[in-house]
Structure 1
């Protein structure tokens, strides 16, 4: 393929993160719209269930990482970007631009889902309430279980810590990782597993961009309580702060428990730094 005009490195990386995160949301919010809204109007058994949601989010992660990995490293998650800045030598000056690109990609992906399912959402939930809120952004207890703000925050910290601990294991070249072209597939399976194990208490956002971008779409398209939970508490910060903290904790635990003790080819423990392709 013939390359176009030379584009600055950071701009290329932001474009890739935008595209990868948009792909993630197209599959993720799309499957929730099908299962919750379309399933609520039609035959629920034929349109999916919780397992469908977990698998589609995992597939979205896999394809989003494959889309962007060569150019930007395939973070598609500000929690990943922040953890890599702390422990993998990722440049701090790129953390905010990556997060902006990821959130913008999530916003556009959710906007497409909102447009595509607009008739179904309007029929399923004419008042655009918490009944269909969960299609786009997370709520404590998925809107039904007796879970409050702080248990949901705890859940987000734990879920994202698990994600980053395992991502660090998968990309550590000294620790028998999968071949590089298989890593996105395995990361997608991790997300499926987290969804099946930790999806009930807070909807396993485990990604600030995944929640904030679609939440902005809600706010702009008629959901008056987009920033609050079903109890009226200000909630939008939970799936932002929880994953950011949990990602750093999980990556740090990997370095402490495994990374510092894994020998390189010369027998000395050394943290491997991975960066996007240059040039």
Structure 2
């Protein structure tokens, strides 16, 4: 294997591991809340915080090797608007989705007894543990509204990530970057979680959705109305990521002028955390 091949393999391992950590906490907390019939083991706020902390920990795991994208929408946006190489996008997306898939299988096995106790037929009642649904499976939210929601939520995510990781935009110190990105995901969860469950990450949704499909959830690819839904948390976040990246470039990036000292700093090879949920 060439040195470039070894480097890419290491980056894929990092994306796999970082995304796996993210999903273990994210899907794990939803499983805990959903299977807690009296609500004593959590609520929406605990879900938002655990997802955010999962992002933070996943970034710390992967940032040094890969930059910790942990999200196909982020990888695609970085390739479109930064020097991230397009040739790495497909391997990163594969690693991210595989990490999410494996993590969801672990959660599925660990919570099998509790899920079976409250939903033995593995219906839409507990499908939300693994993947998102319009209106979180309860409210009457249309497909166009859910699509718009995911575009907006992911645009916010990528726009702020670009701001936090731009060396010329007074970002947080590198060791604090993952914490701030995690807080960003908490904020999105608290402000943009009603319409479509804030997937904002194709790997986060499709990997666990696939894991649930092969472990008893026959309707995993559809929503509570029976409509084919799996495509929406893939397509809409990718569009949203491109929108967010473009807006940052136009509104902020093209107006940033590095000082001579900053120009020297950014010329050094530095891996910055650039993730999301």
Q: What's the offset of the Cα at 1:275?
A: 6.7
**Which of residues 31, 34, 44 is equivalent to 1:50?**
44
- Runs of 4 or more consecutive aligned structure 1 residues displaced over 6 Å after TM superposition: 272-275
Counterpart Cα distance in 1 of 2:31 and 2:169: 39
**Which of residues 20, 23, 46 is equivalent to 1:22?**
20
Q: What's the offset of the Cα at 1:218?
A: 0.8
Counterparts in 2 of 1:95-174, with a 5 A limit?
95-174=89-168
Q: CA RMSD in A?
A: 2.0
Counterparts in 2 of 1:5-20, with a 5 A limit?
8-20=6-18
Gaps of 5+ in 1: 1-5
Q: What's the offset of the Cα at 1:7?
A: 7.4
Higher RCO (C-alpha 8 Å, min separation 6): 2
**Which of residues 206, 209, 213 is equivalent to 1:215?**
209
Counterpart Cα distance in 1 of 2:98 and 2:220: 17
Counterpart Cα distance in 1 of 2:219 and 2:270: 40
Counterparts in 2 of 1:34-49, with a 5 A limit?
34-37=32-35, 39-40=36-37, 43-44=38-39, 46-49=40-43
**Which of residues 28, 42, 58 is equivalent to 1:64?**
58
Asked if 2 retains the 8 angstrom alpha-carbon contact of 1:169 and 1:175, the reply is yes
Asked if 2 retains the 8 angstrom alpha-carbon contact of 1:174 and 1:264, the reply is yes
Q: What's the offset of the Cα at 1:262?
A: 1.0
When normalised by structure 1's length, the TM-score is 0.92
Gaps of 5+ in 2: 273-277
Counterpart Cα distance in 1 of 2:254 and 2:166: 11
Q: What's the offset of the Cα at 1:232?
A: 0.6
Could you tell me which residue of structure 1 aligns to residue 231 of structure 2?
A: 237
**Which of residues 171, 179, 182 is equivalent to 2:176?**
182
Q: What's the offset of the Cα at 1:149?
A: 1.3
Counterpart Cα distance in 1 of 2:261 and 2:181: 28
Asked if 2 retains the 8 angstrom alpha-carbon contact of 1:103 and 1:213, the reply is yes
Counterparts in 2 of 1:255-266, with a 5 A limit?
255-266=249-260
